[in-house]
């Protein structure tokens, strides 16, 4: 009889050849193989234009617990959604390929789940957290953006944009099917969006218990990201989330 999967790790990938060669997936595998619980890792390639998918496919050959899904390019929200819905674990974590927040922080996630949390999100703010090598301008922009997110949609969530979030199986199956702003969203570029804000907004309105954990986070420069432009696009999306709520579109 197959073991019940305790933890699913979903890793979205878009043109990650450099991070692959830097051993980021090896770090995940080394950590998880030391654990006593059953786990799986699902890498979802978002139609990369480099050889990311082929590199991953060759690397995971004969690696138990690892899977690759090849998607057409549609953006991070659709990529994460695909992996989370394919996952079978009791706890389903999505985390960035670059491991800006290292996989070992998942121990805090599982502790919070044991204490009754439905959703656990990493926070780079507050006691016990750290932000390493982040440029000052990027830090200030992030703080201002998060303040606006709290005002508009998520009061009390200290860091809505850390790419390290875990959901129970029930929360996953419920919330990912109820998104409005990011339902079937397809983007042509590397825009990541604020899909996780919509998920957390829905979760709070639905009564799920959300816990925040302090995490270590290391800034990784990426030419694919335009902080100023993307922040404006995300802010517009967050306003649409609030508007959808006011119109009653999130009712079950």
DSSP letter (8 states) at residue 127: T
Between 129 and 40, the more confident residue is: 40
Q: Evaluate if residue 43 carries a pLDDT over 60.
A: yes
Q: Evaluate if residue 112 carries a pLDDT over 80.
A: yes
Between 206 and 143, the more confident residue is: 206
Q: How many other CB atoms are there within 10 angstroms of residue 247's CB atom?
A: 10
Rounded Cα distance, 176 and 78, in Å: 10
Rounded Cα distance, 230 and 191, in Å: 7
Between 150 and 6, the more confident residue is: 6
Q: Evaluate if residue 1 carries a pLDDT over 60.
A: no
Cα torsion through 93, 165, 102, 2, rounded to 10: -10
Q: Residue 231: its pLDDT value, please?
A: 83
Query: Is 7-246 in CATH node 1.10.274.10?
Result: no
**pLDDT band at 252, cuts 50/70/90?**
low
Q: Residue 103: its pLDDT value, please?
A: 98
Q: Residue 101: its pLDDT value, please?
A: 96
pLDDT tens figures, 78-98: 999 999 999 999 999 999 999
Q: Residue 209 in contact with residue 116, Cβ under 8 Å? A: yes
Between 229 and 70, the more confident residue is: 70
pLDDT tens figures, 154-190: 998 988 889 999 999 999 999 999 999 988 788 877 7
Looking at residues 229-233, what average pLDDT do you find? 85
Sketch the domain layout of the chain as residue ranges: 7-246
**pLDDT band at 199, cuts 50/70/90?**
very high
Q: Evaluate if residue 223 carries a pLDDT over 80.
A: no
Q: Residue 137: its pLDDT value, please?
A: 76
The angle formed by the CA atoms of residues 214, 200 and 10, to the nearest 5 degrees, is: 70
| Residues in Cβ contact with 112 at an 8 Å cutoff, skipping those fewer than 6 apart | 120, 211, 213
Q: Residue 226: its pLDDT value, please?
A: 65
Q: Residue 219: its pLDDT value, please?
A: 83
């Amino acid at each position: 009889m197959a073991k019940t999967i305790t933890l699913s790790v979903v890793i979205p990938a878009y043109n990650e050849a450099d991070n692959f060669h830097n051993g980021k997936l090896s770090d995940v595998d080394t950590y998880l193989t030391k654990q006593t619980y059953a786990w799986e890792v699902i890498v979802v390639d978002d139609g990369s234009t480099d050889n990311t998918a082929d590199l991953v496919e060759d690397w995971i050959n004969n690696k138990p617990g690892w899977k690759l899904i090849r998607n057409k390019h549609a953006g991070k929200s659709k990529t994460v959604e695909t992996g989370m819905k394919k996952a079978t674990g009791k706890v389903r974590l999505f985390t960035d390929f670059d491991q800006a927040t290292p996989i070992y922080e998942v121990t805090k996630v599982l502790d919070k789940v044991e204490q009754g949390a439905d959703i656990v999100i990493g926070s780079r703010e507050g006691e016990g957290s750290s932000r390493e090598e982040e440029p000052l301008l990027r830090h200030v922009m992030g703080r201002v953006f998060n303040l606006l997110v709290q005002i508009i949609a998520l009061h009390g969530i200290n860091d809505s944009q850390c790419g390290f979030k875990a959901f129970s199986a029930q929360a996953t199956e419920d919330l990912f099917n109820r998104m409005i702003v990011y339902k079937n969203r397809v983007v042509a570029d590397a825009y990541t969006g604020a899909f996780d804000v919509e998920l957390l907004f829905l979760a709070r309105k639905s009564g799920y218990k959300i816990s925040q954990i302090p995490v270590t986070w290391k800034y990784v420069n990426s030419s694919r990201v335009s902080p100023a432009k993307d922040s404006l696009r995300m802010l517009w999306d967050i306003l649409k989330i609030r508007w959808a709520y006011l119109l009653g579109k999130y009712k079950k």
